[in-house]
């Protein structure tokens, strides 16, 4: 399996790249590609995937906390 990366996009979705399965609460698999976007705003008509509905209506700029290396 290839390395999976999830990138938090400013004012937008979670961009997922790599081989990953998305499964609903009943265990059913969603069809995915090698790269896709998951909705964070809840406005998409194609949940759990982003359809761009958020543009101009959703603000969120998340940043990871920097961790100091322990020596």
List, in sequence order, every beta strand (DSSP E) within 9-64. 14-17, 22-23, 29-30, 35-38
User: Which CATH code, of 3.40.5, 1.10.10, 3.30.70, 2.40.30, is assigned to 1-62?
Assistant: 3.40.5
| pLDDT exceeds 70 at position 14 | yes
- What is the reported pLDDT for 70? 58
Read off the pLDDT band of 68 (50, 70, 90).
Answer: confident
Ranges of H-type helices in the chain: none
- Encode pLDDT of 16-67 as tens digits: 999 999 999 999 999 999 999 999 999 999 999 999 999 999 999 999 998 8
Read off the pLDDT band of 1 (50, 70, 90).
Answer: low
The CB density around residue 16, as the number of other CB atoms within 10 Å, is: 19
This prediction's pTM: 0.86
CA–CA gap between residue 8 and residue 14 (Å, rounded): 5
CA–CA gap between residue 15 and residue 47 (Å, rounded): 14
């Amino acid at each position: 399996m290839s390395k999976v990366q999830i990138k938090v996009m400013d004012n937008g979705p979670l961009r997922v790249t790599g081989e990953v399965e998305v499964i609903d609460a009943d265990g059913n698999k969603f069809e995915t590609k090698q790269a896709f976007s998951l909705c964070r705003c809840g406005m998409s008509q194609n949940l759990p995937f982003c359809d761009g509905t958020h543009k101009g209506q959703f603000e969120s700029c998340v940043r990871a906390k920097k961790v100091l290396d322990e020596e």
